[in-house]
Chain A
Amino acid sequence: MLAGFVGELRQAGLPVSMVEAIDAAKALEHIDMGDRNAFKHTLGATLVKHARHYSAFETAFEVYFGLRPRIGEDLASLPLGSGDGEGAGAGGGGEGDAEALAEALFRAVRDEDTALLAAVVLASVERLAGMEPGRPVGGTYYLYRALRRLDLEALTERLFEAMGGIELGQLEQRLLREEIELRLEQFRMELRAEIRRRLVADRGADAVAKTLRRPLVEDIDLMHAGRAELGEIERAVHPLTRKLATRMAQRRKQAKKGRLDMRATIRRSMSAGGALVDPRFRSRRPSRPELVVLSDISGSVATFARFTLQLVYALAHEFTRVRSFAFIDAIDEVTEYFGTGAEFGSALARISSEAEVVWLDGHSDYGNAFDQFTHRYFNALSPRSVVLVTGDARSNYHDPNIGAFGEIATAARSVHWLNPEARRYWDTGDSIMGSYAPLCDGVHEVRNLRQLEAFVESVTLPTVTSRIGA
């Protein structure tokens, strides 16, 4: 069973090594196997070494070591009694059924009655989800079907009123709404868990796990991410930019030691009887890296653009010296939209409404964008600036204007290009990545967070700085 579980974790993309699997087995010898929580925490601590992999672990754990589904329990014996008992009788999923359950759910959430909540979960799956055995699905549809009949939105309002939300102050109202939302979320989770348990009972753990398998957040393709996935990515980007900031700062400090300081070394040697045992170095004045970001925000890379702008947004909060520019076939500065206190959503809205990034037809023209940049914003570049270009280098057969890009590359300390397309598609069709690549210090395929992370690690590592002494 453990081997199957470890296999599933690996299938889901978690890097579980042999040693870790053995550790897990050893750890299990020390715990009370009857305690499901202890069992889960033990596996979690030994097999999962990244916080962001934990949700994938939890999904797999529920499938492999979930409780048995409560099939065939007598529904009449459940404490659902709504007083007059209307509609709860003849099954088949009539409207009365849903209403009675909604009523029971209302009471369960209001009174935090866990026994009643469990009963509602069970009855909802039984009567409202309409599960059909043998179908290779992950259960999302069943969940949706059950929840739609229960109409949680109307329920939220009822709960809000019943729990005295109307008379409360503004702040308390907000807190109450959050509390209700949290309790209902708890109900959704339990409903989903029960549906999955039944699926597992029907088709076996391996088959269900396979249906539920989703790419880890770092492997989601940035060009084709869905809404929910984008949300996950956005949450993961923020720590990454902090990482970028820390590493850049680190690089500055590591290069701190400069030439030998003879005077300080000799003074230092006094305490060792004149032997030069402890060489001292002059400290170098740290250079402040400046970041200049040029983002293609045209339709062909819309999803990726949203992501790069998210990155720029986060960077603007970490670095004081970031200037950002957006272009399609014309370029405009967007730095101020990301200023202090700006919200990402509103910044994005302002870029699409206010920034002048369209010149002729609204199709990417990298050549013209770079040309305009050299004319209008050339003073943004200095020997200290690092330029990041993000885009697919698909320029719709326009003149690439290598000259202008060359000027940018010469004026800046380094130029890195992040391309969201797979490397094998570069230089096919209207992609002119190959023309720009020789002028860049690095061209990176960034199709997912994992690759972005690799870029962050590589670009900020001290690759050329020579370290004296240390």
Chain B
Amino acid sequence: MHADPSAVAGALTAAGYLPDDRIAQVVFLAERLDKPMLVEGPAGVGKTELAKAVADATGRPMIRLQCYEGLDESKALYEWNYRKQLLRLQADQGRQWDEVSDDIFTEAFLLARPLLDAIRSPDPVVLLIDEVDRIEVETEALLLEVLADFQVTIPELGTIEASSHPLVVLTSNNTRELSEALKRRCLFLHIGYPDVGRERDILLSRVPELPQALAEQVARIVRSIRAMALRKPPSISESIDWARTLLELGIAEVDEDAVGETLHVLLKHQSDIEAVAKDLELS
């Protein structure tokens, strides 16, 4: 538990993630209030990175639930191990039903999935529920019990309560509106693209051999490109890739030609590349 937001910021920085005021403040509150944190923002601004850094900074192991369409209880919460149960039944044929049925619905036959894992872990963990907007609205309900009460109800076993409260981080690319019920339970953190100063610092920390001036220039050009109407504006990871490329090519100062030659590192759609080239009047 960190004493104040600046301690959180320090710990996150040590873990290789440069937070701004707001991020540090919300992480601090999530820790204090024991509330899940819903992190939203465009792809590639470091939402998942933040969760990893939080795990690092708090010294907790991370359990990750990657969401996708069609994710259900048996993949998120728990599943009974059919095969093991079947073998068990065949192994002691001839016994009375009552004895057996008690036997096969015990924890030994339970396959724990990430949510249950996070709840049952004796040491507190960071639970990352990644891209939560990909699951259907109906499936969202699965998460509510875990997020609000830190417990999981298994009909055959009863309610399993958390032995330690996990620090939950949900990420969303906002491809669909999450339910109000889910949002109500979370602290909300929108991460946008960083300003020039912070982007420069991120570049410098990720690509340490990058000269200061080049980092500054990369950050400014990327900001300029993000202001255009594009299908997919460059993300932070793409601007890092771009900085690496420039370094690799031995370009000390970016000019029109250098941008024109390396634009495909920054932008992933041909139409975007054409639009930017036209706008910047690159030859």
Using a CB–CB cutoff of 8 Å, the interface residues on chain A facing chain B are 15, 17, 19-20, 23, 26-27, 30-32, 37-38, 41-42, 44-46, 48-49, 51, 54, 169-171, 174-175, 178-179, 239, 242-243, 246-247, 250, 253-254, 271-273, 275, 277-278, 317, 340-341, 343-344, 453, 457, 470
Q: Is the CB of B271 within 8 A of A170?
A: no
Write out the residue numbers on chain A whose beta carbons fall within 8 Å of the beta carbon of B67.
none
Taking a contact as CB atoms closer than 8 A, the residue among B41, B176, B259, B274 that contacts A246 in the complex is B176
Q: Is the CB of B25 within 8 A of A38?
A: yes
Q: Is the CB of A246 within 8 A of B175?
A: yes
Q: How far is the CA of A272 from the CA of B216 in the complex (A)?
A: 61
A243-B175, A340-B270 given as contacts; is B188 within 8 A of A49 (CB)? yes
Write out the residue numbers on chain A whose beta carbons fall within 8 Å of the beta carbon of B192.
51
Q: How far is the CA of A278 from the CA of B70 in the complex (A)?
A: 17
A246-B175, A246-B176, A272-B86 given as contacts; is B33 within 8 A of A27 (CB)? yes
Determine, out of B53-61, B153-161, B177-185, the stretch whose residues face the partner at the interface: B177-185
A23-B33, A49-B183, A243-B176 given as contacts; is B25 within 8 A of A175 (CB)? no
Taking a contact as CB atoms closer than 8 A, the residue among A20, A48, A242, A317 that contacts B184 in the complex is A20
Taking a contact as CB atoms closer than 8 A, the residue among B69, B254, B270 that contacts A250 in the complex is B69
Taking a contact as CB atoms closer than 8 A, the residue among B40, B224, B256, B271 that contacts A51 in the complex is B40
Q: How far is the CA of A340 from the CA of B274 in the complex (A)?
A: 10
Q: How far is the CA of A413 from the CA of B229 in the complex (A)?
A: 33
A175-B224, A239-B174 given as contacts; is B69 within 8 A of A17 (CB)? no
Q: Is the CB of A253 within 8 A of B231?
A: no
Q: Is the CB of A45 within 8 A of B25?
A: yes
Is B149 in the interface zone, CB < 8 Å from A?
no
Taking a contact as CB atoms closer than 8 A, the residue among A37, A277, A344, A457 that contacts B177 in the complex is A457
Taking a contact as CB atoms closer than 8 A, the residue among A15, A41, A169, A470 that contacts B72 in the complex is A470
Number of residues of chain B lying within 8 A (CB) of chain A = 54
Residue of A nearest to B190 (CB): A51
* Nearest CB in chain B: distance from A41 CB, A: 4
Taking a contact as CB atoms closer than 8 A, the residue among B69, B174, B183, B231 that contacts A317 in the complex is B231
Residue of A nearest to B4 (CB): A32
Write out the residue numbers on chain A whose beta carbons fall within 8 Å of the beta carbon of B32.
27, 30
Q: Is the CB of B190 within 8 A of A17?
A: no
Write out the residue numbers on chain B whose beta carbons fall within 8 Å of the beta carbon of A45.
22, 25-26, 29, 187-189
Q: Is the CB of A30 within 8 A of B224?
A: no
Interface string of B181-225 (1 = CB under 8 A from A): 001101111101000000000000000000000000100110110
List, sorted by A's number, 14 A–B pairs whose CB atoms are closer than 8 Å.
Answer: A15-B180, A23-B33, A30-B33, A31-B25, A171-B254, A171-B255, A171-B280, A174-B280, A178-B220, A178-B227, A242-B175, A254-B69, A277-B83, A344-B229
List the 4 closest pairs (A to B, CB-CB), nearest first: A41-B25, A51-B190, A49-B183, A341-B271
Instruction: Taking A23-B35, A30-B28 as given, write out 5 further A-B residue pairs in contact, using a Cβ cutoff of 8 Å, ordered by the A residue number.
Output: A45-B188, A171-B255, A253-B69, A273-B87, A343-B229
Is B112 in the interface zone, CB < 8 Å from A?
no
Write out the residue numbers on chain A whose beta carbons fall within 8 Å of the beta carbon of B22.
41, 44-45
* Nearest CB in chain A: distance from B122 CB, A: 27
B residues 257-283 touching A (CB-CB < 8 Å): 259, 270-271, 274-275, 280-281
Taking a contact as CB atoms closer than 8 A, the residue among A239, A271, A343 that contacts B275 in the complex is A343
Write out the residue numbers on chain B whose beta carbons fall within 8 Å of the beta carbon of A49.
38, 180, 183-184, 186, 188
Is B21 in the interface zone, CB < 8 Å from A?
yes
Q: How far is the CA of A457 from the CA of B133 in the complex (A)?
A: 13
* Nearest CB in chain A: distance from B222 CB, A: 11
Residue of B nearest to A38 (CB): B25
Is B5 in the interface zone, CB < 8 Å from A?
yes
A45-B188, A171-B254, A277-B86 given as contacts; is B29 within 8 A of A27 (CB)? yes
Residue of B nearest to A454 (CB): B177
Is B90 in the interface zone, CB < 8 Å from A?
yes
Is B82 in the interface zone, CB < 8 Å from A?
yes
Write out the residue numbers on chain B whose beta carbons fall within 8 Å of the beta carbon of A457.
176-177
Write out the residue numbers on chain B whose beta carbons fall within 8 Å of the beta carbon of A174.
224, 280
A41, A48, A254, A271, most chain B CB atoms within 10 A = A41
* Nearest CB in chain A: distance from B174 CB, A: 7
Write out the residue numbers on chain B whose beta carbons fall within 8 Å of the beta carbon of A30.
28-29, 32-33
Q: Is the CB of B184 within 8 A of A17?
A: yes
Taking a contact as CB atoms closer than 8 A, the residue among B72, B176, B281 that contacts A247 in the complex is B176
A44-B22, A272-B83, A457-B177 given as contacts; is B271 within 8 A of A340 (CB)? yes
Q: How far is the CA of A221 from the CA of B76 in the complex (A)?
A: 42
Residue of B nearest to A246 (CB): B175
Interface string of B223-251 (1 = CB under 8 A from A): 11001010100000000000000000000
Q: How far is the CA of A341 from the CA of B267 in the complex (A)?
A: 13
A46, A254, A317, most chain B CB atoms within 10 A = A46
Q: Is the CB of A178 within 8 A of B189?
A: no
Write out the residue numbers on chain B whose beta carbons fall within 8 Å of the beta carbon of A32.
4
Q: How far is the CA of A420 from the CA of B176 in the complex (A)?
A: 23
Q: Is the CB of B86 within 8 A of A317?
A: no
Write out the residue numbers on chain B whose beta carbons fall within 8 Å of the beta carbon of A317.
231, 271
* Nearest CB in chain B: distance from A131 CB, A: 32
Q: How far is the CA of A48 from the CA of B188 in the complex (A)?
A: 7
* Nearest CB in chain A: distance from B246 CB, A: 14
* Nearest CB in chain A: distance from B185 CB, A: 8
Q: How far is the CA of A21 from the CA of B269 in the complex (A)?
A: 43
Interface string of B100-139 (1 = CB under 8 A from A): 0000000000000000000000000000000000001000
Q: How far is the CA of A108 from the CA of B27 in the complex (A)?
A: 36
A17, A44, A49, A470, most chain B CB atoms within 10 A = A49
Write out the residue numbers on chain A whose beta carbons fall within 8 Å of the beta carbon of B175.
242-243, 246
Q: How far is the CA of A341 from the CA of B180 in the complex (A)?
A: 37
Q: Is the CB of A42 within 8 A of B29?
A: yes
* Nearest CB in chain B: distance from A436 CB, A: 30
* Nearest CB in chain B: distance from A104 CB, A: 25
Q: How far is the CA of A213 from the CA of B34 in the complex (A)?
A: 34
* Nearest CB in chain B: distance from A39 CB, A: 9
Taking a contact as CB atoms closer than 8 A, the residue among A41, A48, A254 that contacts B70 in the complex is A254
Q: How far is the CA of A246 from the CA of B134 in the complex (A)?
A: 9
Write out the residue numbers on chain A whose beta carbons fall within 8 Å of the beta carbon of B189.
45
Taking a contact as CB atoms closer than 8 A, the residue among A46, A51, A272, A341 that contacts B187 in the complex is A46
Q: Is the CB of A171 within 8 A of B256?
A: yes
Taking a contact as CB atoms closer than 8 A, the residue among A54, A179, A272, A344 that contacts B82 in the complex is A272
* Nearest CB in chain B: distance from A66 CB, A: 18
Q: Is the CB of A178 within 8 A of B223?
A: yes
B residues 2-59 touching A (CB-CB < 8 Å): 4-5, 21-22, 25-26, 28-29, 32-33, 35, 38, 40-41
Residue of B nearest to A177 (CB): B224
Residue of A nearest to B195 (CB): A182
* Nearest CB in chain A: distance from B179 CB, A: 11
Q: Is the CB of B5 within 8 A of A38?
A: yes
